Amino acid sequence: MTATDPALTALAQGWCALSLLHGKIDAHIERALQSGHDLSVREYSLLDVLSRQHSGPGGHLQMKQVADAVVLSQSATTRLVTRLEDRGLLTRYLCDTDRRGIYTDVTDSGLALLAEARPTNDRALREALDEAATNPQLAPLVRTVEALHAPA
């Protein structure tokens, strides 16, 4: 295979289209969350991930798991947690069984903000997908995203 191989060119074009779709969706949701709730997409994602924890076995996520879930480095995730903790949206505490472990929970204020922001996030996602679907290059990707969790 050479750099000008049609298969590689098509693969690169597909990757560019996927990157473009992600960027458009991310930017649209970011504007909606910032203007309506003073939240970034990353902050919203972090609150969402942490709100799904439970007190049963394996129910609390370690910082590495949180970082993986929000697609950030551990250091960036720690900074994000600190920012939201400073706003009173998160709280940290030591793990009962492993004093080296630190867990993070969403506060009542964080849960309230998340509940308020969820419809904005969902609406902005729908708008971004609908707009992208009008672009012939992005329409197949939009259909794929929509089919990922569609009811059978």
Q: Which of 18, 34, 14 is nearest to 132 (CA)?
A: 18
* Whether 117 contacts 36, CB under 8 Å: yes
Half-sphere exposure of 34 (CA within 13 A, CB side): 9
| Domain assignment of residue 93, yes or no | yes
* Whether 68 contacts 76, CB under 8 Å: no
Q: Which of 144, 151, 107 is nearest to 22 (CA)?
A: 144
pLDDT of residue 152: 65
pLDDT of residue 127: 98
| Domain assignment of residue 30, yes or no | yes
| Domain assignment of residue 140, yes or no | yes
pLDDT of residue 56: 73
* Number of structural domains in the chain: 1
Which phi and psi (to 5°) does residue 99 adopt? -65, -10
pLDDT of residue 103: 84
DSSP 152: -
Domain containing 96 equals 7-148
| Domain assignment of residue 52, yes or no | yes
| Domain assignment of residue 79, yes or no | yes
| Domain assignment of residue 127, yes or no | yes
pLDDT of residue 20: 95
| Domain assignment of residue 1, yes or no | no
pLDDT of residue 24: 96
Half-sphere exposure of 142 (CA within 13 A, CB side): 19
| Domain assignment of residue 2, yes or no | no
> What CATH number corresponds to the domain at position 130?
1.10.10.10
* Residue-wise DSSP of 83-101: HHHHTTSEEEEE-SS-TT-
Beta-bridged to residue 103, according to DSSP, are: 93
Per residue of the chain (152 residues), what is the pLDDT tens digit?
566 777 778 888 999 999 999 999 999 999 999 999 999 999 999 999 999 987 777 778 888 889 999 999 999 999 999 999 999 999 988 877 766 678 899 999 999 999 999 999 999 999 999 999 999 999 999 999 999 987 76
Residue 106 burial (C-beta neighbours within 10 Å; 0-12, 13-18, 19+): buried
Query: Which pair of structure tokens corresponds to residue 56?
Result: 């049963």
